[in-house]
Structure 1
Amino acid sequence: MTAQHPVLPEVRQVKPGATLLLCRCGRSSQLPDCVSACPEQVELHVAREQFLLLCRCGQSQRLPYCDGSHSPPVMSLKARWLRFWRGL
């Protein structure tokens, strides 16, 4: 039996002048990008260089941005530390 790892967010560096079509419904097969003509897609025009933390699991309440929903809460600092170092 193999452990299923969560789908981690994408850190994307964007440059001024770029235009992104990002998914807000969570149904895109290429999250965080919207590959269809979905009415819920967001067109983002980048004004300054920055890093974006984009959701790839589709569970975020702030799509297309990651809110940490892919990672269930843990009760202790030790558990958080272990999850961080294992990449889970």
Structure 2
Amino acid sequence: MSSKPAPILPEVRQVKPGDTLLLCRCGRSPQLPDCSSGCSHGLRLEPVQQQLLLLCRCARSRHLPYCDGSHNPPVQGFRERWRRFWWGL
């Protein structure tokens, strides 16, 4: 058994017209993916259609506030990639 801590997975959030979101782009918010109200780096979103967003909660993404998969360290070989995809390991 591995004692590695579980990765912090992204948040899937459904948004709709009329919602207003303030999302973190600097990675310093204690409540990722949401931004602190006093932060000047937040991204304000006002969706015009209903959609799903994949939002980063680990602060490693290069495209904050969106998840780019950086929470998963890279693996080598088809077998390991398939294992991660199929089993989420």
TM-score (norm 2): 0.89
Count of residue correspondences? 88
- For structure 1, list consecutive stretches of 5 or more residues without a partner in the other structure: none
The one-character-per-residue Cα deviations of 1:7-54 (angstroms, maximum 9, x if unpaired) are: 111111111111101000101111000123101001101110000010
- For structure 2, list consecutive stretches of 5 or more residues without a partner in the other structure: none
Aligned match of 2:78: 77
Aligned match of 1:47: 48
What is the DSSP-based 3-state SS (H/G/I as helix, E as strand, rest coil) of the residue aligned with 1:16?
Answer: coil
What is the DSSP-based 3-state SS (H/G/I as helix, E as strand, rest coil) of the residue aligned with 1:81?
Answer: helix
CA RMSD of superposed structures (Å): 1.4
Aligned match of 2:10: 9
What is the DSSP-based 3-state SS (H/G/I as helix, E as strand, rest coil) of the residue aligned with 2:12?
Answer: strand
Same amino acid, percent of matched pairs: 62
Q: Which runs of structure 1 show a deviation greater than 6 angstroms over 4 or more consecutive aligned residues?
A: none
Q: Counterparts of 1:26 and 1:48 in 2: how far apart (Å)?
A: 26
TM-score (norm 1): 0.90
Aligned match of 2:19: 18
